Amino acid sequence: MLNYGEPYSFYYNGFRHRMQEISFSLLVKLGVVASIASILARSNYFKSMLMRENRTLNQRLALAVVLSLVFATSVAIRVASPNYYAADLGLEGSLLAGILGGYVSGLLSGILISLPAMFYGEHLTMPLLAAVGVVGGLLRDLATDPEDIWQFSPFPDLNIFRFFKESRNHRRTAFHLLFGAGILFTEFLRYQLRSFSHTRTEIFFLANRWGETTPLTLTALFATTLFAVIIPLKIWNNTRNERKLEEQSRLLVEARLAALTSQINPHFLFNTLNSVSSLIRTDPNQARAMVVKLSKVLRRLLRKHENFSALREELSFIEDYLSIEVIRFGDKLRFEKDVADDTLDMLVPSMLLQPLVENSIKHGLSNKVEGGTIRIHCRRSESRLHLLVEDDGVGIPEAKLATLLDHGIGVSNVNERLKVLFGSDYRMWIDSQPGKGTRIQIEVPELQSTLAAVS
């Protein structure tokens, strides 16, 4: 008697077994790429590479070599042991090298990663991976801001929603859509190259291991390639954020130490105490006020700080510091401020203004016989805080002004801290004319509007 259920059961069980094999292979691929990314993220050398957005040629070559060694190993494992075909991440590695390092890193990595497959007889692998590396470099160049790459979401519906609903930055959301399409294009390029080969052994394609491909298996494969590129970027972005927080803490400590060693140095204390001693007989009340202000300045510098503080606290500290300097310098030093009331509770990086005011006194006004005035302006506009510190001192020579943000001790420290805290979402620029004075302007995004936001 015939059993008509057997053929159906046979094909159903075969289909289910095949889908299980496909799913397992793709999950192994994602697990391998996540493991590789996590291992690399633990290397201090690789961390330092991730923190650089602009690299020299030698640095790009070094990045290419590091990534090539790792991802070429995955290709070699697949070639040496057919049971580990899901470990092959040559295409993803070449693309990541281009995204991180540009054309040079991508092209070189594609060539080096393809070598194990070339020795195995897969002759189309080298031109494919070299082209994929160049595509990665092209995607990097299309980003208006390097941070756009790290903030990419692999979900196209979310990117489309951002494009139509968020009016702030259409270019960023458009880039994210193009970025995802570029990753999928590289897998499509490998899929199409099969038709140019005499035998399918000339190029590795994961779906060939599953027999006849279907739209479902191709969709799963393309989605896996997309996530195999995004997962390392997300892991490495977390590493970058952790390093940025560490750098912010280091810079804050350096700012505190710089204040203690330069502003509150023995020479400053000696002059201050000498002024106090002379005032004790002539004006005891003024001497007492000066001691109180000095103690507040020292207490502020020595106590533990948060990364952010309210603007009113920063201004109070500046007033105490300058009131001591005004007593020391007399009428030669004047201080004016123009601060909007709605900015006083806004958060700013701690010790933001003090190095700038100190520079104005030390380099701008101390060498001017008749002295001068320091002015601080604070205003709020379109959820941005605008700060201005200016003086009418001797000014900065043009040759020195060009490198001040990189080499000026106080100014460069402020600039580096702002870069760590806000990425590219801030502005700091310096205008100076010899003999007329210097203006330092800072624009940062609004963080919180109440002191309760400080944690």
CATH superfamily of 305-453: Histidine kinase-like ATPase, C-terminal domain (3.30.565.10)
How would you write the pLDDT of the chain (455 residues) with one tens digit per residue?
A: 444 455 545 445 555 666 777 788 888 899 999 999 999 988 888 888 888 877 888 889 999 999 999 999 999 998 888 778 888 899 999 999 999 999 999 999 999 999 999 988 888 899 999 999 999 999 999 888 888 888 887 766 555 555 556 555 677 778 888 898 999 999 999 888 876 665 556 788 877 766 667 788 888 889 999 999 999 999 999 988 888 888 777 777 666 655 544 544 455 567 677 778 877 888 888 888 888 888 877 777 666 556 788 899 889 888 887 887 777 777 788 889 999 999 998 999 887 888 888 888 877 787 777 778 999 999 998 889 999 999 998 888 877 777 776 665 678 778 877 887 787 889 998 888 888 889 999 999 987 543 333 33
* Residue pair 6/203 in contact by the 8 Å Cβ criterion: no
With a CB cutoff of 8 Å and minimum separation 6, the contacts of 50 are 100, 236, 239, 240, 243
The alpha carbon dihedral of 80, 81, 84, 86 has a sign of: positive
> 186: which residues sit within 8 A by CB, 6+ positions away?
91, 95, 132, 135, 225
List helix spans (H) across 143-194: 147-150, 156-165, 170-193
159 near 173, Cβ under 8 Å? yes
3-state SS string over 286-352? Answer: HHHHHHHHHHHHHHHHHCCCCCEEEHHHHHHHHHHHHHHHHHHHHHHEEEEEEECHHHCCCEEECCC
CA distance 409 to 101: 30
Please tell me the distance from the alpha carbon of residue 240 to that of residue 41, in angstroms, as a whole number.
9
Domain boundaries, the chain: 5-243, 305-453
Q: Tell me the whole-structure pTM to 2 decimals.
A: 0.57
